[in-house]
Amino acid sequence: MEDEVVTFEHLAHREIPKSAFKTYDVKTAIDKDGKPIRVGFRYPNGSYKIRLFDQKEFYSKPSPTGESISGAGLFGRDRFEIGSHKYVCITEGEYDALALHSVCGCPVVSVQSSSSAVRDCSNDRAYLNSFERVYLAFDNDVHGREATAAVARLFDYDKVFDIRFTKYKDSNEYLIRGERDELAGLYSSARRYSPENIIGDLSDFREILGQAPTMGVAYPWNTLTDMTYGIRTGETVLLTAPEGIGKTEVMHAIEHKLLAETDWNVGAIFLEEDKRRHLQALAGLVLKAPVHLPDSGYSTDQVRAAVEGLVRTDGRLLVYDHYGSDDPELLLDSIRYLVSARGCRCVLLDHISMVVSGGADRDERKALDRIMTKLEMMVKELDFALIVVSHVNDDGLTRGSRYISKIAHLRIDLKRDVLNADPIMRNTTYLTVSKNRYGRKTGPAGALLFNLDTHSYEEIEYANDNNPHHHGAGAVVNF
């Protein structure tokens, strides 16, 4: 490049006016044919960040005395004297600094990147702190938000203001999109910074309360729906039962309801049930018959058609193809994939103890506590419904960890007298809501009679003595 013939000028581009390039002394190299080839952003120590004009490719050049750009501090800091204005803005890119300055007129400086933001601002903290206000205008993405939070901690929060980009990623994009006035409005309406986990503005409250409460997705049984107001995303539902009560069939019924009456994608993780038996169970609920039995009277084609008619399209039902205990981290990653990549609004997990039963972690309680904590954080972060099963011991405590119950939003306990001589009593499962953060109602939540012919549950009425034979003067078993 030594024999390269170029000229340099303050060239207006990217919808940034020439005056801004003059203010920052940012020059564009023009080749002998009049074509812009690269732009040089001079830093206070004389080093340069150089960007190719027609593509997003950067490289740096040390100062004449050999000083590196890594210790140069903030781009543009040497263009504005202390006391030249009450406010200073910090952006995440040099072009963004020029763009925002051309709109607001106050000093605007830039960090070299989001990853170096704390370093760059720390190097020039005294300079920044000399202004009455420090406006943060980092990119509207994950890295930008992280940089905003990190840089804000360098100053007294009383003087830090946050320019929140909404429609576009950064200030230069607003100019490129012809939204100069909107960018000016974002600057003038910037609010005092507060961490993302703290809100205090009335506008935030209005936005949060803007949607009226609505019913969740109904359970298959009316009493349970009336008490809980349905299945909602962002919540964890815990089903508890001793072994052999019929919890898996209850989960099948909920899964069938979601697939039949919503457009939700559903993730199914049944660790004690192979995938063939799982799909047969769903087909059985459609056909109202135990199609997994050889004498059910239904052909393979009919079973296939029932499942296809229920699921309707590829990708709506995603079945975890594994039997038995599994690596907890792999399971957590799979759930994140089901929700974030495959769009599942509900994930059913049967059952939580199987996740750690074969693992290397000898402390089952700690392992279950850790898994449930991560699951609950994921439920909130990704906004999906998690319905999870846990076995209970003879005292009704969740097996392995009491924390499983503490973290759930809703707990539904299942009970059945499997040794009762009366076939109706023996096949009736009683539901009790023992925890209900949202609906507040607790207590008996209905009785489900399992019909062996249709291989499905139907809700029945029962008297206070939990006897499904009698309710008032008449029989109550209704099909």
* Nearest C-alpha neighbor of 131 from the set 98, 96, 107, 154: 107
Per-residue confidence (pLDDT) for residue 476, from 0 to 100 = 32
- Looking at the domain assignment, is residue 470 inside a domain? no
Q: What is the mean pLDDT of the chain?
A: 88
pLDDT, tens digit, 9 for 90 and up, residues 262-294 = 999 999 999 888 899 999 999 999 999 999 999
Q: CATH no. for residue 65?
A: 3.40.1360.10
Judgement on whether residues 315 and 175 belong to the same structural domain of the protein: no
Same domain, 180 and 231: no
Last residue of a domain, one of 178, 195, 212: 195
d(CA 319, CA 5): 64
Query: Two tokens at 437?
Result: 């953060």
Domain shared by 440 and 323, yes or no: yes
In a domain, 467, yes or no: no
Task: Clarify whether residues 265 and 396 are in a common domain.
Answer: yes
Residue at 440 is within a domain: yes
Same domain for 186 and 247? no
pLDDT value at 197 more than 80: no
- What are 309-334's pLDDT values in tens digits? 999 999 999 998 775 555 788 888 88
Looking up residue 269, the CATH number of its domain turns out to be: 3.40.50.300
At 396, the pLDDT band (50, 70, 90 cuts) reads low
Is-contact 409 270, C-beta < 8 A? no
CA–CA separation, 357 vs 326, rounded Å?
8
Together in a domain, 285 and 434:
yes
Residue 254 sits in the same domain as residue 138: no
Strand order in the sheet with 58-61: 6-9, 27-31, 36-42, 48-52, 58-61
CA distance 368 to 312: 35
pLDDT of residue 474: 29
Rounded average pLDDT over 19-44: 95
For residues 165 and 50, membership in a common domain is answered with yes
Question: Which of 34-38, 124-128, 226-230, 245-249 bottoms out in mean pLDDT, i.e. has the lowest?
Answer: 245-249
Mean pLDDT (whole number) for 83-111: 96
The count of structural domains within the chain is: 2
pLDDT tier at 360, thresholds 50, 70, 90: very low
Give which of 22, 48, 27 is closest to 38, Cα–Cα: 27
Range of the domain at 168: 6-195
Whether the per-residue pLDDT at 355 is higher than 90: the answer is no
Question: Is the pLDDT assigned to residue 473 strictly greater than 50?
Answer: no
Q: What is the pLDDT of residue 300?
A: 94
pTM: 0.64
**Torsion over CA of 410, 411, 412 and 414, rounded to 10 degrees?**
170
Q: Is the pLDDT higher at 371 or at 353?
A: 371
Residue 473 lies in a domain: no
Identify the band that residue 388 occupies on the pLDDT scale cut at 50, 70 and 90: very high
pLDDT at 395 over 70: no
